[in-house]
Amino acid sequence: MLVDGLGAGSLGARAGHARTLAGALSKESVIAAGFPTTTASNIATLTTGEPSGVHGLVGYTVLDPAHDRIVNQLSGWDALLDPATWQRSRTVFERAADTGIGSVVVAPARYRDSGFTRAVLRGAAYRDGKSVADRFEAARQALDDLDRGIVYLYVPELDQVSHKHGWESAKWTAKLESVDAELTRFAGALTAREGLLLTADHGVLDVPPHAQVLFGEDPALVDGIRFVAGEPRCLQLHFEPDASPALRAEVVDRWRRAEGGRADVLTRDEAIEQGWFGPRVDPEVVPRIGDILVAARKAIAYYDTRAKKQDGRAMVGQHGSRSAEESRVPLLRFGAFARR
């Protein structure tokens, strides 16, 4: 089960509202999410077992080098982006099928035929449910139908509420309570042969409007930049192909002088060398990563004021960077897994 946006810190802070979830939370049941801390990258990591530098989904929006464009990894799939090859690793569902083990994905209906689903959930049968309760019921039915198998249950509601209202809002707490209540019923009905592992793709950090950093109108920071990708909390900036080495070095230095006090500013080579995208990055994936990465450390978010769409600035809950709030997530065990 993956609860989108459920950070270990926010769960701990609202422990009294989630007795079952918080009751399974301990120092030993907190793990590090992959980088970047964004849904596209980390669901792919969960379902393939590979870091983003191998499976290739290296951000929320990324460069498609073959077509010289920025693509949205959740909703921007089209005929030019083949899910079967862009996401480069076999899924756990495909590998399970090789040994005769069936898999079922339970998620909202609207994701059934998306490019992202075909990229990261291939190899599993798809069952949908409108509400959280509907999906738990579908997962229960899938367990009953399988003698041996894997069921993947996806809950996006907490993340959706956090983006709109923030994780510190009463609405987020109410949604957490409802998820915990359904989990309590589901976990209590697991048989001796059934176990549940619950985790998240990232945590969330609330960013107020006054903490938005508007950089697009500063020519020093966008000089020679062709594309802005990534997330507001972790920009991936791509230079024009003909940008000189001197200009590239100068722009990196400008970003460090301007933002180094509240963000980590690394070149692509530096980020790869430091293992941000995993212990190795395949050559095919390298061009997808920005020439400059600006990863916020403080509670801020970066926005390009030149962009046509500015609706993202209404978001409260944010993620994508490397803070503890974003990168520490639970790994909770129930049923047979809790007894081991």
| Predicted TM-score of the model (pTM) | 0.96
**Average pLDDT of span 285-301:** 98
SS (H, E, C) 276-334: CCCCCCCCCCHHHCCCEEEEECCCCEEECCCCCCCHHHHCCEECCCCCHHHHEEEEEEE
* Per-residue confidence band for 333, with pLDDT thresholds at 50, 70 and 90: very high
* Per-residue confidence band for 311, with pLDDT thresholds at 50, 70 and 90: confident
Q: Which residues are within 8 A (CB) of 268 and not within 5 positions of it... i.e. 6 or more apart?
A: 286, 289, 290, 291, 292, 293
Predicted pLDDT of residue 340: 63
User: What is the helix (H) or strand (E) element at residue 64, kind and residue range?
Assistant: strand 61-64
Predicted pLDDT of residue 308: 86
**Average pLDDT of span 248-276:** 98
Average pLDDT, the chain: 97
151-179 pLDDT, tens digit per residue, is 999 999 999 999 999 999 999 999 999 99
**Average pLDDT of span 252-276:** 98
4-30 pLDDT, tens digit per residue, is 999 999 999 999 999 999 999 999 999
Smallest CA-to-CA distance from 177 within 1, 22, 28 is with 22
198-236 pLDDT, tens digit per residue, is 999 999 999 999 999 999 989 999 999 999 999 999 999
Predicted pLDDT of residue 122: 97
Roughly what angle, to the nearest 10 degrees, separates helices 132-145 and 170-188? 20
Predicted pLDDT of residue 225: 98
Tokens matching residue 259: 């933002």
218: helix, strand or coil: coil
Predicted pLDDT of residue 48: 98
Pairwise CA distance, residues 27 & 209, whole Å: 33
Smallest CA-to-CA distance from 231 within 31, 17, 57 is with 57
β partners of residue 325: none
Q: Which residues are within 8 A (CB) of 161 and not within 5 positions of it... i.e. 6 or more apart?
A: 169, 171, 172, 175, 317
Pairwise CA distance, residues 195 & 26, whole Å: 18
Residue ranges and CATH numbers for the domains of the chain are: 2-62+81-205+321-335 (3.40.720.10), 209-316 (3.30.1360.180)
